[in-house]
């Protein structure tokens, strides 16, 4: 019996890795919004591609821009 590849995750493992529900992972797969492979109907996720997927949505704050509001007295 072969060992599962540590480079690829199941839907359950990907949901734990990303801290989201399994149903959300399946939804992203259905919409083809998350990188995955499908072999004989079995969905797997590359860890490096999941990291790149998350990095794509990372929000970076611009330290030179600050928002200030004036209070009315």
The answer for residues whose C-beta is within 8 angstroms of residue 26's C-beta and 6 or more apart is 11
What is the set of domains in the chain, with CATH numbers? 8-56 (1.10.10)
pLDDT score recorded for residue 14 = 97
Going 24 to 30 to 36 to 41, the CA torsion angle's sign is: positive
CA dihedral 35, 36, 37, 38 (to 10 degrees): -130
pLDDT score recorded for residue 61 = 79
Greater model confidence, 28 or 61: 28
Query: For 21-56, what is each residue's pLDDT tens digit?
Result: 999 999 999 999 999 999 999 999 999 999 999 999
């Amino acid at each position: 019996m072969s060992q599962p590849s540590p480079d690829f995750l199941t839907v359950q493992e990907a949901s734990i890795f990303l801290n989201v529900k399994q149903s959300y992972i399946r939804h992203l797969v259905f919409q083809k919004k998350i990188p995955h492979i499908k072999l004989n109907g079995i969905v797997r996720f590359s860890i490096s591609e999941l990291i790149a997927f998350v990095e794509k949505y990372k929000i970076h704050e611009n330290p030179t821009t600050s928002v200030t509001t004036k209070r009315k007295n």
